[in-house]
């Protein structure tokens, strides 16, 4: 599918990581402290007493470097552990947890799911005035507009009508897709076949979650379209 241009500005990217200003500031302070102590240890002949042992300026210099290295190792280890915990929590979320989510939570979760599966430029649209589009993402040469419907009942025509309006509002989008933790009514399926709309029901969503757990990454739009 040919990608369209002149799209509207999108907001709330889930791709951009948050800026770690305190961490970067702390790292700069540690490096600067090591630099200053290193200069002093070599030019002023300072010494330290550590655990009862007297260290001369050369020993002090290398001791400072070791302490700095251990501090940096601890900082990075904590960051790695935090990332592993976040990843484990995300992987632990299955369809039962999705059933308990609020609408906005489902949108954020699905955006992250797309990112994990290999989509790029994943954006969560603003809460109001989105014209039925909750998530926009790129895969291969196609730009997809997704509407996320967390529902306890089968999803009907309204969702399909809204995503049809949404891909008109966002002209850069090649295909609209409605995704739900439930299923679709027969009339919704009939309407979707008449437009540029794909449907991802509960079974398709479970399949995508399982593929993410298997570290599968999509490379082209066909990897998603066969589920619709």
Model pLDDT for residues 178-192, shown as the tens digit of each residue = 999 999 999 999 999
- The count of structural domains within the chain is 2
The answer to whether residues 118 and 93 touch, using CB atoms and an 8 Å cutoff, is no
Instruction: State the angle between helix axes of 103-116 and 202-213 in degrees (0 to 180), rounded to the nearest 10.
Output: 50
List, in order, residues 6 or more apart from 211 with CB less than 8 Å away.
117
Helix (H), strand (E) at residue 54: strand 53-55
Q: Answer yes or no: do 193 and 109 share one domain.
A: yes
**Coil vs helix vs strand at 55:** strand
pLDDT value of residue 159: 95
Shared domain check, 216 and 131: yes
Please say if the pLDDT value at position 200 is more than 80: yes
Do 84 and 114 lie in one domain? The reply is no
Is 90 exceeded by the pLDDT of residue 139? yes
Establish if 5 belongs to a structural domain: no
Do 113 and 209 sit in the same domain of this protein?
yes
pLDDT grade, residue 75 (50/70/90)? confident
Distance, CA of 143 to CA of 37 (rounded, Å): 54
82 lies in the same domain as 109? no
Query: What is the tens place of the pLDDT at every residue in 18-74?
Result: 444 455 555 666 666 655 555 555 544 445 554 455 555 555 556 666 777 777 777
- Mean per-residue pLDDT over the chain, rounded: 77
What is the tens place of the pLDDT at every residue in 141-155? 999 999 999 999 999
Check if the beta carbon of residue 215 is closer than 8 Å to that of residue 135: no
At 111 the pLDDT is 96
Compute the distance between CA of residue 103 and CA of residue 112 in angstroms, rounded to an integer: 15
Residues 101 and 79 in one domain: no
CA-to-CA distance for 160 and 178, rounded, in angstroms? 7
Please tell me the predicted confidence (pLDDT) of residue 213.
86
- φ, ψ (nearest 5 deg) of residue 136: -120, 135
123, 136 contact by CB (below 8 A): yes
The answer to whether residue 4 sits within a structural domain is no
In total, the chain counts a number of residues equal to 228
Question: pLDDT tens digit string along 79-118?
Answer: 776 655 555 555 558 899 999 999 999 999 999 999 999 9
Domain limits at 62?
21-92
Is residue 27 located within the same domain as residue 122? Answer: no
6 within domain boundaries: no
pLDDT attached to residue 50: 47
Cβ-proximal residues to 12 (8 Å cutoff; 6+ apart), any chain = 123, 124, 125, 126
| Same domain, yes or no: 131 and 66 | no
Q: Which is more confident, 93 or 124?
A: 124
Structure confidence at residue 71 (pLDDT)? 72
């Amino acid at each position: 599918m040919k990608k369209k241009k002149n799209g509207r500005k999108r907001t709330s990217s889930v791709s951009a990581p948050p800026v770690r200003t305190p961490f970067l500031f702390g790292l700069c302070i540690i490096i600067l402290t090591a630099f200053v102590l290193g200069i002093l240890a070599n030019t002023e002949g300072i010494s330290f007493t550590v655990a009862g042992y007297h260290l001369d300026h050369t020993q002090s210099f290398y001791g400072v470097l070791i302490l700095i290295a251990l501090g940096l190792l601890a900082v990075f280890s904590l960051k790695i552990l935090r990332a592993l915990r976040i990843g484990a929590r995300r992987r632990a979320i299955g369809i039962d947890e999705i059933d308990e989510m609020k609408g906005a939570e489902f949108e954020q979760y699905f955006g992250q799911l797309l990112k994990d599966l290999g989509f790029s430029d994943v954006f969560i649209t603003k809460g109001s005035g989105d014209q039925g589009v909750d998530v926009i993402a790129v895969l291969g040469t196609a730009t997809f507009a997704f509407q996320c419907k967390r529902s306890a009942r089968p999803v009907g025509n309204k969702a399909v009508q809204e995503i049809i309006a949404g891909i008109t509002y966002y002209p850069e989008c090649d295909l609209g897709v409605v995704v739900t933790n439930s299923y679709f009514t027969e009339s919704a399926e009939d309407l979707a076949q008449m437009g540029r709309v794909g449907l991802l029901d509960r079974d398709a969503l479970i399949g995508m979650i399982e593929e993410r757990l298997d570290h599968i990454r999509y490379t082209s739009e066909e990897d998603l379209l066969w589920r619709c």
